[in-house]
Chains A and B, each alone.
Chain A
């Protein structure tokens, strides 16, 4: 029996995560990046050359090709049109987080994929990280007992570009970095966020978008959580940022630092000091899970609804940062 090659169209390299996903796709057996569609010709041609494939400017042209699925890494605000176009063309979708910039956009993406009978997966690689998976086992072991409270962080460097333009990103640091940890918590505990208080600011970069965010929220299982979503890492910070969860439990404390397997590297050029990954898991496992689902016709492990639930928390947090009040989370 020969394995069918899964053919992928990558729609936009506006989000730099596309690079990592393309590296994984290129390394997987029986997977082909058939085309890179990007309206930015320089960018599209550059990455097409790097990943040894063709470039087209138009999404429609790519969707007319013989591909099984698409990877959407556009500016957040364009996730909707690209996903719906892909669904109408009968292609499965792996969409970068946040799934969309509004609840309406997210629900119409989910509906369009359902109608077309294609799968929609939200790109949440952190729940595929080995230390997060180990944390999930550990918090549910009898040795840990009940989870009492959690302090979580997803601080990063300011990505600049369109990320700081709310018209394209839907916000700033809060919408960018709330969703990963919220997804991980939903994954670990099978619980939803019920209410959120948040404060945000824009003093780090002084731009129009927020670049600083601190969320305080409660899970439906009663566990209170704090989450730092800030772009506090300066551009010369030794690493891009990280994801950490400090989980206080009945019989002890668990610290997960998902991307801490690094070595220190000091260079005589700038940046003079960096932390280089020894092993960062998550991206390869997530991308191959999507490809497996496409190949085997099985359910994707992370759905569009998962993306929507995380987005709802981010949007409520942005609202709270305006109102300075606890905001309830309602589900679309």
Chain B
């Protein structure tokens, strides 16, 4: 029997995972996979047993720092009997392939956002995991950032009253040079599926489902291989009007949120609230501070980084059987809105949604 069949396998149980560190295979050891692997390796709740990447040099470098076996083959890692959870941090267009492989091997899955490139893939992946009896959580990490958690608490407490207008932005340097797959909108979904999906998901988490949207941006212009930038107007079913902005045109990463209601306004900007700022003098080359040590950098160091917090919550859910905070259905609803933003941008038209979250046909 080929290891691919894996018919006799079963997912790791809550009791097993509660009795020892949860064993992860990190699939894709690039920017995001590398961060997750380091966070997991530094936690007593988890162990990184395998690092999977077709770029084995990259995976080997990481393994030298944090340990774990290296392979270019998911099947090798998944059939080793040493993996409870697959952490899928592959390019977005490959998420379905990774999640399906894990489900086939009856391995629980933490999949990076967006759940998939297409709505069809997202729906299929969610079903496949349900059928296989494995738990799927999608990494909508903004729900685990302290500032968004605090604002959500204020919303639930009613401090701001009836919410009228909200803005969110997520601003980044161009990423296409570092990872060329981002420049192919068909594979990555551009800046909307990489960055704006965070605002879409966070606002859905705060305000519920979207009724209507309109968007514009650069994703379908000749600029998209060098720069991308998108702005969307979202109207939620509760009447909240949202402005979402996402950018790959800047020199540093920044986020902001502003929520305005009948009783008040809450506002946060990562830049304004930074606790450590790095500003190189002209002509002087610094080493060793931040990843972009020769550029202006600002920081907000924390005790538990949000990317670790989301994985610790996932581990807790696996051990206790609690529902995960962002399952496949939830992530799919967010993706449908994000893909509609792309459609609106490409076709210059207003898009309306049905109550079930699906797109209203024009």
Instruction: Give A contacts to B, CB under 8 Å.
Output: 148-149, 151, 197, 199-201, 203-206, 211-212, 214, 216, 218, 224, 226, 228, 230, 232-234, 237, 246, 248-250, 252-253, 324-326
Contacts and interface: CB of A to CB of B under 8 A. Distances in A.
Given A201-B164, A226-B231, A226-B243, A148 B265 contact: no
Given A203-B262, A206-B262, A326-B350, A253 B250 contact: yes
B218 A148 contact: yes
B347 to A, nearest CB: 11
A199 B260 CA distance: 15
Contacts of B258: 232
Interface string B101-128: 0000000000000000000000000000
Contacts of B249: 148, 248-249, 253
A172 to B, nearest CB: 12
A204 B223 contact: no
A232 B250 contact: no
Interface stretch (B22-30, B181-189, B209-217): B209-217
Interface stretch (B10-18, B129-137, B233-241, B319-327): B233-241
B80 to A, nearest CB: 47
B231 A204 contact: no
A199 B262 CA distance: 18
Given A205-B262, A248-B229, A326-B350, A148 B164 contact: no
B261 interface: yes
Give the top 7 A-B pairs by smallest Cβ distance, nearest first. A232-B260, A224-B216, A203-B164, A204-B164, A212-B164, A226-B231, A197-B214
Contact of B233 (A216, A246, A253, A325): A216
Contacts of B223: 148
A233 B165 CA distance: 11
Contacts of A214: 165, 233, 241, 243
A201 B239 contact: yes
A206 to B, nearest CB: 7
A199 B210 CA distance: 14
Contacts of A199: 212, 233, 235, 241
B36 interface: no
Interface string B173-214: 000000000000000000000000000000000000000101
A233 B265 contact: yes
A204 B261 contact: yes
Q: Is the interface of B mostly helix, strand, loop or mixed?
A: strand
A151 B230 CA distance: 10
B231 A149 contact: yes
B265 A234 contact: yes
Interface string B267-283: 00000000000000000
B239 A228 contact: no
Nearest to A249: B249
A201 B214 contact: no
A276 to B, nearest CB: 18
Contacts of A250: 227
A110 B316 CA distance: 70
A176 to B, nearest CB: 15
B342 interface: no
21 contacts: A149-B231, A151-B231, A199-B233, A199-B241, A201-B165, A203-B164, A203-B239, A203-B262, A204-B164, A204-B261, A212-B164, A212-B241, A212-B260, A214-B233, A214-B241, A226-B233, A228-B167, A228-B243, A234-B264, A237-B265, A326-B349
Nearest to B230: A149
A131 B38 CA distance: 44
A131 B213 CA distance: 32
B216 A216 contact: yes
Contacts of A201: 164-165, 239, 241
A245 to B, nearest CB: 13
Given A197-B350, A214-B233, A237-B265, 15 more contacts: A148-B227, A149-B229, A149-B231, A151-B245, A201-B239, A212-B165, A214-B243, A226-B231, A228-B243, A232-B260, A233-B260, A234-B265, A246-B245, A248-B229, A249-B249
Contact of B214 (A149, A216, A232, A234): A216
B162 interface: yes
Given A199-B235, A204-B261, A226-B243, A211 B164 contact: yes
Nearest to B345: A224
A203 B258 CA distance: 16
Nearest to B164: A203
